[in-house]
Amino acid sequence: METPERREAGEPDAEAHNPFPWYEWMRRESPVHVDPQSGALSVFGYDDVQRVLSDFEAFSSERGRREGSSALGASLISSDPPRHRQLRNLVTQAFTPRAVALLAPRITAIIDELLDQVAAAGRMDFIEDLAYPLPVIVIAEMLGIPASGRAQFRRWSDAIVSPGAAPAPGQPSFMDAQREMAMYFGRLIAERGAEPRDDLISHLVAAEIDGQRLSAIELIGFCVLLLVAGNETTTNLLGNAILCFDEQPGAYERLREQPGLIPDAVEEVLRYRSPVQSMFRSATGETDLGGVVTRPGQPVVAWIGSANRDETVFPNAHIFDIERTPNRHLAFGYGIHFCLGAPLARLEARLALEALTARFRDIRRVPDAPLRWMESSIVYGVKNLPVTFTRA
């Protein structure tokens, strides 16, 4: 039987860019699957994925915390209640749809600046020129990170989102990236402690839970989480949108004619090519999951990318349909850990697609230009995406 590990080992028909046939097979043949070697449990169907993501009593997020003293391990994504709620309360205000809507004019200005630089050329690398810089600039400005620090971020977040991959020459390893980021943020946190400004880092430094400030490692964890979680994921959402439009003749033109459909199209990209394909939990005890009883401490993988193609929930799940409704995808997770940055990611994607469709009559992948895919079973997207376009 084909197992998650075999796929990661590079089975020919199960490469990073097309895990979908494998998901379909697993949903049909072994929807709750225990890997005989590692003992890890994987779930592939919509209901089970939703349950694993949201039932925090049976499936803990504290995996990272137990595994060592990494900054991300101390952050809210790796916390269970009651600590999770306390940490989340510190930042929810900054990320509500109403709060992020105030950023729209600035986000539009950044998009216009980035597109101005390439508009005359009629071609760009969509990732390098738009999809990567946009979310980094936005979150860095929210956190209060000086522009000079940004060049480092890609190296770090690439290493952090692909912990299994061997680092490319000159690139830091997962542990080096964690260390370098911790040092960088440690310095910035000290500076903001001494001289607060109107930014998220200063806000977090001053925040108290039951009269207690966050520890240094918790503060660093917050910064790393916001930077990493907000970066590659939104980059991939934008890149994946172009991949979807390229495959679906007429979709881009339709959005040009009817920009009101853009928010629905963004939701469909999130479902169809989910930027986060899987999330991890660990079983707290013995729980029945589709007839399999978990054991305490057992790693559990919720395959979001598979749930979002589950035919029992999404009719014609294998078809990209910008008018799909309802679209109850799980791309941002479900329950108490539901993505904090979802309103921001949705806003950035909408504004970017509005700008693209207003400015460019078409946008096409350069035929035969090889794509480099992220080497990860967690994040899904491309590292480069050469495109050509015609100005409207």
Q: Which 269-288 residues touch ligand HEM, going by CB under 6 A?
A: 275-276, 279
Question: Measured from the CB atom, is 27 or 337 closer to ligand HEM?
Answer: 337
Instruction: State whether the Cα torsion 20-23-29-34 is positive or negative.
Output: positive
Least CB distance to ligand HEM at residue 53 (A): 5
H-type helices in the chain, by residue range?
4-8, 20-29, 46-54, 63-66, 83-95, 97-101, 104-119, 126, 133-143, 150-161, 174-194, 200-206, 216-247, 251-257, 262-272, 304-307, 342-359
Least CB distance to ligand HEM at residue 178 (A): 17
Binding residue for ligand HEM, selected from 111, 344, 353, 356, defined by CB under 6 A: 344
Instruction: State whether the Cα torsion 56-58-64-67 is positive or negative.
Output: positive
Cα 242 from Cα 365, distance rounded (Å)? 8
Q: Under a CB-based contact definition with an 8 Å cutoff, are residues 330 and 308 in contact?
A: yes
Answer yes or no whether residue 237 interacts with ligand HEM by CB under 6 A. yes
Answer yes or no whether residue 88 interacts with ligand HEM by CB under 6 A. yes
Residue 387 burial by CB count (10 A; 0-12/13-18/19+): exposed, middle or buried? buried
SS3 string, 341-379, reads CHHHHHHHHHHHHHHHHHHEEEEEECCCCCCCECCCCCE
Q: Which of 271, 229, 277, 298 is nearest to 77 (CA)?
A: 229
Q: Quick one: how far is CA 287 from the chain centroid?
A: 28
Answer yes or no whether residue 345 interacts with ligand HEM by CB under 6 A. yes
Least CB distance to ligand HEM at residue 375 (A): 18
Answer yes or no whether residue 225 interacts with ligand HEM by CB under 6 A. yes
Binding residue for ligand HEM, selected from 111, 220, 331, 347, defined by CB under 6 A: 331
Give the interface size with ligand HEM as a residue count (CB under 6 A).
Answer: 25
Q: Which of 321, 306, 284, 315 is nearest to 377 (CA)?
A: 306
Of the candidate spans 181-189, 310-318, 328-336, 365-373, the one that interacts with ligand HEM by CB under 6 A turns out to be 328-336
Binding residue for ligand HEM, selected from 229, 317, 351, 356, defined by CB under 6 A: 229
Answer yes or no whether residue 133 interacts with ligand HEM by CB under 6 A. no
Answer yes or no whether residue 177 interacts with ligand HEM by CB under 6 A. no
Answer yes or no whether residue 234 interacts with ligand HEM by CB under 6 A. yes
Of the candidate spans 16-24, 124-132, 157-165, 333-341, the one that interacts with ligand HEM by CB under 6 A turns out to be 333-341
Binding residue for ligand HEM, selected from 14, 16, 74, 77, defined by CB under 6 A: 77
Question: Measured from the CB atom, is 134 or 205 closer to ligand HEM?
Answer: 134
* Residues binding ligand HEM (CB under 6 A): 53, 61, 76-77, 88, 139, 225-226, 229-230, 233-234, 237, 275-276, 279, 331-333, 337, 339-341, 344-345
